[in-house]
Amino acid sequence: MIEENSIQNILIITLVTIFLSACASPSQKNGISSNRFNQISSEQASKESVKSLILKTDGVTISDQIIDKFYTRMKKQFPDAPDSYWNDLSKEFNTNYILDLFIPIYQKHLSEKDIKNISLFYDTETGKKLIKYYPIIMQEFSTVSQKKAREFAMKAYEKYKSFSEALSKEVKMLNKELPKMINANIRFDRISLKGKHWLYNYTLINQTKEDLEISNFSSDMTQKIKNAQCNNSKIQYALNNNGSFTFSYQDRDKTPIVDIVINKSNCL
């Protein structure tokens, strides 16, 4: 069974997009005398005036086409629903139903004078021309924008790929110098990178986990890492771009001791 609220929401979103697009042109005068505008009152827009404007801008025709396509797609997804179900549903969820929901929004933001002024514009040759060519303009824009979007996506991918490869190369270069001793007890083993998360692996070569007071060790190392890393310009750049660092310690028997995570909030 199809959820009625889902259908209602989809239809409303579709129609809002169409109607706003149709009425989004500048309200220039184009030869209409200012007296005609001034003669229109500022009272609340009537339901009839709003419907007239929507009809004039061909919003209903376009929305009918979209609703027909919507039901066609839905019927393919729910082929077992009987015709009577769809007939009953279409009687409720149709253009007139959506208009009745949509009109009060017009009335909330636009007065009768506003609606008449917009309507007068669409009565001009310029307004009629805009109504005629607006679908064509949007279709051509859609074609151009889709092409440019694909080009931009490819460019963005290549840039990301180059950036990712550079980071991977840097990690490999750093790992060539590892493992190495940081002090008499701690060995820096390896660096790995997954997305924006850096993992630094260390081993305490002279101690086991049982030899340590874990909370004290963790607190001490966390403070040392913060002091060293939070003032590092490269680390700061990574943190400011949603990166994070984990400093992972294990004992001489390769038993995990503690993971210390450094992110932007830790360095504030």
Question: What is the structure's pLDDT at 42?
Answer: 63
Residue 30 inside a domain? The answer is: yes
Q: Are residues 94 and 193 in the same domain?
A: no
Is the bond preceding 26 in cis, omega lying within 30 degrees of 0?
no
Which residues, listed in sequence order, are joined to residue 191 by a DSSP beta bridge? 200
Q: Do 118 and 8 reside in the same domain of the chain? A: yes
Kindly state whether residues 116 and 197 are assigned to the same domain: no
What is the structure's pLDDT at 249? Answer: 97
Query: Where in 98-196 does DSSP place strands (E)?
Result: 180-181, 186-194
Element (H, E) at 127: helix 125-175
- Note whether 214 and 257 are within 8 A (CB): yes
Examine residue 10 and state whether it is found in any structural domain, yes or no: yes
Strands (E), the chain: 180-181, 186-194, 197-204, 244-250, 256-262
Strand order in the sheet with 186-194: 180-181, 186-194, 197-204, 244-250, 256-262
Q: Which of 123, 144, 169 is the last residue of a domain?
A: 123
Tens digits of pLDDT across the chain (268 residues): 444 444 444 444 444 444 444 444 444 444 444 454 444 446 899 989 988 888 888 777 766 776 777 788 888 888 888 888 888 888 877 878 777 777 888 899 999 999 999 999 999 999 999 888 888 888 888 888 888 888 888 888 888 788 778 888 889 999 999 999 999 999 999 999 988 899 999 999 999 999 999 999 999 999 999 988 888 888 888 888 888 999 999 999 999 999 999 988 888 7
In a domain, 196, yes or no: yes
Do the domain assignments include residue 159? no
Say whether both 89 and 198 belong to one domain.
Answer: no
Boundary (domain end) residue, out of 104, 123, 142: 123
DSSP codes of every residue in 171-219: HHHHHTT-SEESSSSEEEEEEEEETTEEEEEEEETT--GGGS-HHHHHH
Residue 39 falls inside a structural domain: yes
Domains of the chain: total: 2
19/108 same-domain check: yes
123 Cβ neighbours under 8 A, 6+ residues apart: 56
Do 111 and 9 fall into the same domain?
A: yes
Domain range for residue 221?
Answer: 180-267
Question: What CATH number has the domain bearing residue 211?
Answer: 3.30.300.250
Among the three residues 123, 148, 170, which one is the final residue of a domain in this structure? 123
| Closest listed residue to residue 121, CA positions, set 57, 59, 58 | 57
- Which residue is associated with the tokens 């002090």? 183
pLDDT at 60 (0 to 100)? 72
Q: Is 193 in the same domain as 261?
A: yes
Is position 80 within any domain? yes
